Chain A
Amino acid sequence: MERSLANFIRALRMADVRVSTAETLDAFRTAEVVGWRDRTLLKDALALVLPKTHDEKEAYDACFEQFFRVEDFRTHADAAADPDGAAQDDGSATNDADGDAQGDASDAGGGGESAGQGGERRGPPAGGSPGAPGSGQDGDERSELEALVHPGELADAGSALGRMLMEGDRSALAMEIARAAREAGVEEIRVFTQKGLYTRRIMDGMGLGDLQEEISRLHRSAELPDRRLALELERRRDGLREQIRDYVERQFLLHADATGARLREELLRTVKLSNVEQRNMRHLRSIVQKMAKRLVAAHARRRRITRRGQLHVPRTIRQNLRHDGNLIDLSWKSKKIERPKVFAICDVSGSVSYYARFMLMFLYSLEEVLPKVRAFAFSSDLAEVTDLFQREDIDEAIAHTLHDYAGGSTDYGQAFSDFLRLAGDDLDHRSTVIILGDARNNYGEARTELLRRIYDRSRRVLWLNPEPELAWGGGDSEMNRYRAHVHQVAVCNSLQHLERVVSDLLRSAN
């Protein structure tokens, strides 16, 4: 049971539940306290110790249901409860499903392997007398075909794998699988499409070729026991294939899932946002949150350091004059925290809307350190969308913004004049203005003087352009004219860029 708990924890980790060693120890202590008999109690109790967020609780529930089956608790609460786990570590009996059939076979096969396990295809009568004269009789009475599948005298298998299969020693077989798997390098498996490949490789490694040859040779043989053996071997070979597939599956879950996720995350961070496929969107979302969380942690700390007070000596002395100079009331120095005001102006016209989406998501995930974000969206006209974000879930707000304001041809001049009208008076020395856009103005008037006014009034103006620098200034891009009137221009088309920009922003704001 202890081992199955350890395996359960491993499975949890696979399911993205973070379980530390300390928590593992807690889980064992908990299991000791509540015992193994009451399944719901065990589940409730472990749910307190292992998963620590709402998401993790859900993953935990699913895992628990899978791992600790109800039957296991009904039948033998104290015996090893997880077929999977047991099979994984030692080579003993594999899964329960064919365990029964196996049981029959090994019972019956006590004397001679020949009895085999006719059970599955033909029903159980075979379980009886091993290699008895009775079966020979049957063979005479019935058609030859039936005699073939009916247990009877079998020839001896020639190939190594065949012999092993016929011996039915499952632990030896499992060891052999493990050996072949090591040779095939199964721990290198990364994506699930490789499962078939590795199954095949392992089977080859175990000598499938010889076995196949033997089977076809046996089929051609005139001897009844030979052909019988061929059928039996085929059956066992298929069973073996299943077993190996299971094995590969488990190895995949063990090795690949975690690394796969990491790989994907790594990739998504650097890939151009517009190239991200739809199905990866929700991963992006969680990566954005992760990045935001890290930035919050880093910058919240910095902010608090400025809050650590030192004794403000002059004020303390002044305040305590009335106590005859005894310093009773102390007053502390503290630095006023200036929270940056961020104005985000996003081009949400077709080509750039993708990036706008992520920048807004990012900015609003930073609420803790950037409490005052005002968002503006434009394609031809500009409007403030801050309200949307306060009222709604980020995803919905973004969808709304794109729906309401995207479309229309981009007009930066109009957008700047609208922005000045809406927020011009609120710009001050604490304001940072971030403009996200490709500066493609459809050959409209650039109106750089308006941008200049924004520049003059605010502390920093950043321009993020999703296009590579080479494309700036080409065609209808006004980037080169605009860049003279902003503090900083940066290419920004992946999450990594975005993170860098926001991190800079936070650093300069504090």
Chain B
Amino acid sequence: MTAAESPALPAAAQSVEAVRAGLEAERYICSKQIATAVYLAMQLGKPVLIEGPPGVGKTELAKTSARMFDLPLIRLQCYEGLDEAKALYEWKYGKQLLYIQVLKEQLADVLDGAKGLTASIARLHEFGDVFFSEEFLEPRPLLQALRAVDGSVLLIDEIDKADQEFESLLLEMLSDFQVSIPEIGTVKAKGRQPLVFLTSNNTREISDALKRRCLHLYIPFPDPALERDIIHARVPEIPETLRRQLVAFVQELRDRDLKKIPAISETIDWARTLLLLNADALDTELVRDTLNVILKFQDDIDSVGPELHGIIDRAQRSR
């Protein structure tokens, strides 16, 4: 399967380095593991299950991959109670009903001359399942992704928020890239298979069956060097020294026992904030005023407060 498809793969998926460079060009700086995951996903045609703490760029990876491969991004946000009608397909019930109403008058013409119930029904049967055809099918994200002829990137976001049955629903889709619709039959991926990303915040254990079908990528918080590169790519205007300091500061915060540990997205926001305030180095005053950008709980801010000076000091000395 892979051998047949590989020539059709875009240039950006030909090697791990190419993937990494491609992501970098889209300003997504990543570790080699992440690039390997995308590369393998393209090569093997397997979905990627991404886990990791919130705000490390799980969703962003899917979005960036879509841009990099120039594919449409189809996103399915999961929540409790999500079912196949919202994820897969739905019959356009209203439209069906409306058509029935409109066609009521036509019925007389159709049945004209038919004698008795059996004959009438036989006559109706000639029209086949008009009301259960593609015309009345409302494709939802999963079906849309399968039907995208040039391939697509399907992002199933926060799968852990959905119920367990929903996972089972995904199994057919993820292993064979097909779904079964009772009235129509099996819909297979047209053209290129979608590149599927699933993200999970680990609020619930994902079932083994689903995990088995996916590549499993865990994105941890980045190390300082990588985080500096990320900030550099995202907020290029920020001065070198400040960048170094703020990354060191955030890195130290992550080692603390906080309710909500600041993630990369918070570091980026903070960098933007500091840039806006024209800062070029961290000082206690500045940090105290802007701490609410990286810490989202008052408890956390209070607990860090007294040690602020020490942390800033260490951050300034970090090289």
Contacts from A to B (Cβ < 8 Å): 18, 20, 22-23, 26, 29-30, 33-34, 40-41, 44-45, 47-49, 51-54, 57, 293, 297, 300-301, 304, 326-328, 330, 368
Query: Least Cβ distance of A333 to chain B in Å?
Result: 16
The CA of A47 and the CA of B217, in the complex, are separated in Å by 8
Residue-wise interface mask of B (189-213) relative to A, using a CB-CB cutoff of 8 A (1 in contact, 0 not): 0000000000000001100100111
Q: Are A44 and B33 in contact (CB under 8 A)?
A: yes
B208 touches A18 (CB 8 A): yes
Q: Could you say which of B101, B213, B217 contacts A48, with CB atoms under 8 Å apart?
A: B217
Bound state CA distance, A220 and B204, in angstroms?
73
Assembled-state Cα–Cα distance A119/B98 (Å): 95
- Cβ–Cβ contact B212 & A48, under 8 A: no
Question: With A and B bound together, what is the CA distance between A293 and B208 in angstroms?
Answer: 13
Whole-angstrom distance between the Cβ of B194 and the nearest chain A Cβ: 18
Q: Is the CB of B97 within 8 A of A45?
A: no
How far is it, in angstroms, between the C-alpha of A456 and the C-alpha of B213 when the chains are bound?
52
- Stretch from B36-44, B58-66, B149-157 contacting the other chain: B36-44
> What are 23 A-B contacts defined by CB distance under 8 Å?
A20-B212, A22-B212, A22-B213, A26-B46, A30-B44, A33-B2, A33-B40, A34-B16, A34-B36, A44-B33, A44-B36, A45-B40, A48-B33, A48-B40, A48-B48, A49-B216, A52-B208, A52-B211, A52-B212, A54-B218, A300-B164, A327-B97, A368-B204
Q: How far is the CB of B101 from chain A (nearest CB, A)?
A: 7
Given contacts A41-B16, A48-B217, contact A26 B44 (CB under 8 A): yes
Residues of B within 8 A of A41 (CB): 16, 32, 36
**B51 contact set on A, CB distance < 8 A:** 54
Q: A26-B46, A30-B44 are in contact. Are A48 and B94 (CB under 8 A)?
A: no
Min CB distance A141 to B, Å, is 62
* Interfacial chain A residues near B97, Cβ < 8 Å: 326-328
Chain B nearest CB: distance from A10 CB in Å? 18
> Which A residues lie within 8 Å of B217 (CB)?
48
A327: B residues at CB distance < 8 A? 97
B 93-118 binary contact with A (CB < 8 Å = 1; else 0): 11001000100000000000000000
B163 interface neighbour in A26, A49, A304, Cβ under 8 Å: A304
Interface of B, helix, strand, loop or mixed by DSSP = helix
| Pairwise interchain contact B218-A29, C-beta atoms closer than 8 A | no
Are B32 and A44 in contact, with the CB atoms below 8 A? Answer: yes
Q: How far is the CB of B256 from chain A (nearest CB, A)?
A: 15
B259 to chain A, nearest CB (A): 9
Expressed in whole angstroms, the minimum distance between the Cβ of B50 and any Cβ of chain A is 10
**How many residues on the B side are at the interface (Cβ–Cβ under 8 A)?**
29
B165 within 8 A of A: yes
Judged by a CB distance under 8 angstroms, whether B142 is at the interface is no
- A48-B48, A368-B204 are known contacts; what are 7 more A-B pairs with Cβ within 8 Å? A40-B32, A41-B16, A51-B216, A52-B211, A297-B164, A304-B163, A327-B97
Give min CB distance, B219 to chain A, whole Å: 11
B window 209-237: CB within 8 A of A: 211-213, 215-218
**By the criterion CB–CB under 8 Å, are B208 and A57 in contact?**
no
B44 touches A328 (CB 8 A): no
Complex Cα gap A29–B43 (Å): 10
In the complex, chain B residues whose CB is within 8 Å of the CB of A52: 208, 211-212, 216
Give A321 Cβ to nearest chain B Cβ, in Å.
15
Q: How far is the CB of B23 from chain A (nearest CB, A)?
A: 15
Residue of B48, B216, B217, B218 with most partner-chain A CB within 10 A:
B216
Report whether A326 and B101 are in contact in the complex, using a CB–CB cutoff of 8 Å. Answer: yes
Residues of A within 8 A of B94 (CB): 328
Complex CA distance for A328 and B97, rounded to whole angstroms: 7
* Smallest Cβ-Cβ distance to B94: which chain A residue: A328
Do the beta carbons of A293 and B205 come within 8 Å of each other? Answer: yes
Q: Which 3 A-B pairs have the closest CB atoms?
A: A48-B215, A44-B36, A52-B211
On whether the beta carbons of A33 and B43 are closer than 8 Å, the reply is: yes
> Which residue of chain B has the shortest Cβ distance to A21 in the bound complex?
B212
Closest B residue, CB atoms, query A23: B212
Instruction: Tell me the bound Cα distance from A57 to B218 in angstroms.
Output: 9
Could you mark each residue 114-133 of chain B with 1 if its beta carbon is under 8 Å from any beta carbon of chain A, else 0?
00000000000000000000
Which one of A33, A51, A300 lies within 8 Å of B44 (CB-CB)?
A33
Bound-state CA distance A173–B209 (Å) is: 45
Query: Once the chains are docked, how many angstroms separate the CA of A49 from the CA of B212?
Result: 8
Among A18, A22, A54, A293, max chain B CB count under 10 A is at A54
Docked Cα-Cα span, A476 to B2, in Å, equals 74
Chain A nearest CB from B6 CB (Å) reads: 9
Query: What residues on A are CB-neighbors of B2 within 8 Å?
Result: 29, 33
Which residue of B37, B44, B101 contacts A29 across the interface (Cβ within 8 Å)? B44
A49 and B164 CA atoms in complex are apart in Å by 22
Residues from chain A with Cβ under 8 Å of B32 in the complex: 40-41, 44
Measured in the bound complex, the distance between the Cα atoms of B2 and A26 in whole Å is 12
| In the bound complex, CA of A22 to CA of B36 (Å) | 20
User: What are the interface flags for B15-43 relative to A under an 8 Å C-beta threshold, 1 for contact and 0 otherwise?
Assistant: 01000000000000000110011001001
CA of A447 to CA of B36, assembled, Å: 68
Residues of B within 8 A of A300 (CB): 164
Which B residues lie within 8 Å of A26 (CB)? 44, 46
